[in-house]
Amino acid sequence: MSTESLRIVWIYPDLLSTYGDRGNALILARRARQRGMPVEVLEVRSDERLPATADIYLVGGGEDGPQALGAQRLIADGGLHRAVAQGSVVFGVCAGYQLLGTSFFAKGVQCRGLELLDLQSDRGPSRAVGELAGEIDPRLGLPALTGFENHGGRTHLGPEVSPLARITAGVGNDGNTEGAWRGKLLGTYSHGPALARNPALADLLLRWATGAHQLPPLDDTWSDRLRNERRSAVAAARA
């Protein structure tokens, strides 16, 4: 493993931090440090330039207004596009997922996205609020995804991205699939925060960022218990 610090950027805490997704930065940093990797977490506000040289960029959820402003500033900044071109990992949650696509709706207005993922979001008939669960794309080799969703948008995937999961509970993109990924870019509707509830997903991002095929296992008893509890609750509710 490199002795250089793993650099994690938490994008726009002043705009895209409404739903507790900052926990994803804490989880990544903790799981990396537990494996002996030095980590640097940078919080970059929306009035600052985004460094293009970090390993992992996290874009969190947000209400419509901050989401639209965040997308405008990220497009104007250009740092995230440069980072992606250099092979950085990007993890977007909800608003941060939608704005990675070509367009999304905020406050009834269609807004331009960053065009980093082949997807676009419109508005659904009602707000999707509640437990979210799904079976993750088998190519990623991860256990089932669980989380909590709270969004008005619905997301439609183009041919250049793959769904992250097939829905077993909740709505996700459109009631059938949830999230999307391509290369080292991954988006999800899962709050909770997603990486606290799905530590194997955190390790996937760490493996993408470091090039490691495997990471030493950690004790994930509590998140495993929560996942099993939520899966049982979903199965019981459907029976």
Measured from the CB atom, the residue of 153 and 172 that comes closer to ligand GLN is 153
Nearest CA to 91 among 219, 220, 221, 182?
A: 182
Active site residue 191: yes
Active site residue 111: no
What is the separation of C-alpha 78 from the centre of its chain, rounded to a whole number of angstroms? Answer: 20
Angle between helices 23-34 and 199-210 (to 10 degrees): 70
- Give the whole-angstrom CA distance, residue 158 versus residue 216: 35
Measured from the CB atom, the residue of 60 and 163 that comes closer to ligand GLN is 60
- Give the whole-angstrom CA distance, residue 213 versus residue 32: 14
Q: What is the nearest approach in angstroms of ligand GLN to the Cβ of residue 210? A: 28
Piece of the chain touching ligand GLN by CB under 6 A; list 50-58, 62-70, 140-148, 221-229 = 62-70
Show contacts with ligand GLN in window 148-167 (CB under 6 A).
150-153
Q: Is 127 annotated as a binding residue?
A: yes
Contact indicator for 178, 164 with CB cutoff of 8 Å: yes
Q: What is the nearest approach in angstroms of ligand GLN to the Cβ of residue 151? A: 3
Q: Is the dihedral of CA 161, 217, 30, 19 positive or negative?
A: positive
Q: Which residues does 185 contact at the CB level (< 8 Å), separation at least 6? A: 84, 89, 90, 92, 100, 116, 117
Q: What is the nearest approach in angstroms of ligand GLN to the Cβ of residue 37? A: 29
Piece of the chain touching ligand GLN by CB under 6 A; list 77-85, 134-142, 146-154, 170-178 = 146-154
Measured from the CB atom, the residue of 31 and 113 that comes closer to ligand GLN is 113
Q: Which residues does 4 contact at the CB level (< 8 Å), separation at least 6? A: 38
Measured from the CB atom, the residue of 151 and 227 that comes closer to ligand GLN is 151
Show contacts with ligand GLN in window 12-51 (CB under 6 A).
19
Among 64, 115, 131, 174, binds ligand GLN (CB under 6 A): 64
| Site map 69..108 versus ligand GLN, x via CB under 6 A | -------------------------xx-------------
Nearest CA to 153 among 117, 90, 111, 91?
A: 111
User: Closest residue to ligand GLN, Cβ-based?
Assistant: 61
- Give the whole-angstrom CA distance, residue 21 versus residue 19: 6
Q: What is the nearest approach in angstroms of ligand GLN to the Cβ of residue 232? A: 26
Number of neighbours of residue 86 by Cβ within 10 angstroms? 10
Residues that bind ligand GLN (CB under 6 A): 19, 61-64, 67, 94-95, 150-153
Active site residues: 94, 191
Residue list, annotated binding site for substrate: 127
